[in-house]
């Protein structure tokens, strides 16, 4: 075992209250050494741990997580902190919920959840996975949906879809819109909406479109025309009902009975919000035991623009989304927004509760966001307990939308851990 200190001892916290072990290193393998040093923040020193904490030799995540979203984190990340800092029935929160990785993982583990995101797509992607229908229910509902071949989209989508596929997508869009407008959208409809939203565009015949970028990163119609020319391709028919069913089967493939019971129990108390993370009045003060989150990283990812086609399918005004979500141009703007987020997190966090705030590795790791985040949490009233750097070794290097897996063949998650004392 690596010679890592027990966090409970390190932080002088009360281990008795929790059934779960709270040692940061308790399921580490011998091959993963942890190094430790100190970072100076103002007058205090904060411990920094570097190691491979949750990737190697860890259990596989639930299939329910497998929906794509820009800059989402792996479920092992929230799992790691939920296991150590909460017990069953505690509330786990994510103010920048995205696809809902924290919420789904917490719910699978029997924790109560609150998830917020300025983009309404987040709720569409998350909500039905908290109460998944059976495959048979999905199949029967799909059979009942009437497709009308004459239907056309109100915008030109011919560069993405063949005309019959387009009419199926528009039929589905209208069906779901009618259900929603008449207040009749149930969990099976919501599930179909979530899966269809995920199948709109992609790089394989498993998606509705001709070869293109994934659905969380839809290109403009003009760019798609160029892709088609370059690849000498044109859209072919896709059986949308069959593809929805296939993806549903895969999402539901590893959900155990115990997990379904946990989800059902948690779903009725789940709080799903679509607010600016700085202003979440619906969340009770001092109610959250643990927040696990990753904020938007400066202006690297365009959460609104990249999702234009998903927004079209769901009748969401993409410009309104763009106005809500944070696209900070400079580190100064970013820290001002995050300062407001930390004030709100302090309000909602219980005494003794925790915040695990993940910042990516951006601009070739020259900008260490964790060093900007530490004073923000401290100014809001938290104590900064540690910085955890999870270093995952890659066999090849890659550079995804500016969040870089660096030259040494590693990728890191950098998490600043705060506590409300």
Contact residues toward ligand SAM (CB under 6 A) are: 69, 71-73, 96, 98-99, 101, 116-119, 122, 276-277, 294, 296, 303, 325-326
CA angle 393, 398, 400 (to 5 degrees): 115
Nearer to ligand SAM, 167 or 294 (CB): 294
Shortest Cβ distance from residue 334 to ligand SAM (Å)?
Answer: 10
Nearer to ligand SAM, 46 or 316 (CB): 316
Shortest Cβ distance from residue 320 to ligand SAM (Å)?
Answer: 12
Give the separation between CA 46 and CA 383, rounded to whole angstroms.
10
Nearer to ligand SAM, 227 or 325 (CB): 325
Nearer to ligand SAM, 303 or 312 (CB): 303
Q: Which residues does 162 contact at the CB level (< 8 Å), separation at least 6?
A: 210, 234, 235, 236, 237, 238
Nearer to ligand SAM, 41 or 337 (CB): 337
Q: Say which DSSP state 316 is in.
A: -
Tokens representing 312 are 């079209």
User: 325: burial class by Cβ within 10 Å (0-12, 13-18, 19+)?
Assistant: middle
Q: Which residues does 86 contact at the CB level (< 8 Å), separation at least 6?
A: 18, 20, 92, 106, 111, 289, 290
Q: Are 85 and 288 in contact (CB under 8 A)?
A: no
Shortest Cβ distance from residue 321 to ligand SAM (Å)?
Answer: 8
Nearer to ligand SAM, 341 or 374 (CB): 341
Nearer to ligand SAM, 73 or 160 (CB): 73
Give the separation between CA 103 and CA 64, rounded to whole angstroms.
11
CB closest to ligand SAM, residue no: 98
Shortest Cβ distance from residue 336 to ligand SAM (Å)?
Answer: 11
Shortest Cβ distance from residue 173 to ligand SAM (Å)?
Answer: 22
Shortest Cβ distance from residue 47 to ligand SAM (Å)?
Answer: 24
* Helix (H) / strand (E) containing 354: strand 349-359
Q: Pick from 415, 297, 278: which is nearest to 345 by CA?
A: 278
Shortest Cβ distance from residue 274 to ligand SAM (Å)?
Answer: 8
């Amino acid at each position: 075992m690596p010679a890592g200190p027990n966090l409970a001892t390190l932080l002088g916290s009360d281990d008795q209250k929790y059934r779960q072990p709270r040692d940061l290193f308790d399921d580490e393998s011998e091959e993963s050494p942890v190094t430790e040093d100190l970072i100076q923040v103002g007058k205090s020193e904060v411990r920094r741990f570097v190691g491979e904490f949750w990737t190697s030799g860890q259990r596989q995540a639930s299939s329910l997580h497998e929906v794509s979203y820009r800059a989402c984190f792996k479920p092992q990340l929230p799992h790691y902190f939920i296991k150590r800092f909460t017990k069953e029935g505690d509330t786990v929160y994510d103010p920048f919920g995205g696809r809902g990785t924290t919420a789904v993982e917490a719910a699978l583990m029997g924790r109560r959840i609150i998830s917020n995101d300025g983009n309404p797509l987040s709720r569409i992607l998350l909500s039905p996975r908290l109460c998944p229908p059976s495959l048979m229910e999905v199949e029967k509902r799909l059979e009942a949906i009437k497709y009308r071949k004459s239907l056309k989209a109100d915008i030109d989508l011919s560069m993405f879809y063949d005309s019959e596929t387009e009419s199926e997508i528009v039929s589905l869009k209208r069906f779901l819109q009618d259900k929603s407008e008449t207040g009749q959208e149930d969990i099976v409809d919501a599930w179909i909406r979530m899966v269809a939203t995920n199948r709109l565009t992609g790089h394989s015949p498993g998606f509705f479109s001709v070869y293109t970028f994934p659905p969380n990163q839809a290109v403009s119609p003009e760019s798609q025309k160029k892709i088609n020319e370059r690849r000498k391709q044109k859209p072919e028919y896709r059986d949308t009902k069959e593809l929805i069913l296939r993806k549903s089967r895969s999402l539901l493939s590893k959900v155990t009975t115990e997990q379904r019971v946990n989800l059902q129990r948690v779903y009725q108390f789940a709080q799903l919000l679509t607010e600016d993370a700085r202003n979440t009045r619906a969340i009770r003060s001092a109610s959250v035991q643990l927040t696990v989150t990753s904020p938007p990283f400066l202006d690297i990812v365009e959460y609104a623009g990249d999702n234009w086609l998903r927004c079209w399918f769901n009748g969401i005004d993409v410009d309104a989304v763009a106005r809500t979500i944070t696209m900070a141009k400079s580190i100064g703007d970013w820290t001002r927004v995050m300062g407001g987020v930390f004030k709100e997190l302090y309000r909602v966090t219980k005494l003794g509760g925790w915040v695990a705030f993940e910042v990516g590795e951006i601009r070739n790791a020259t900008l260490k966001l964790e060093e900007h985040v530490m004073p923000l949490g401290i100014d809001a009233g938290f104590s900064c307990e540690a910085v955890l750097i999870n270093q995952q070794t890659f066999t090849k290097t890659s550079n995804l939308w500016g969040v870089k897996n660096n030259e040494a063949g590693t990728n890191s998650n950098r998490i600043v851990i705060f506590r409300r004392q």
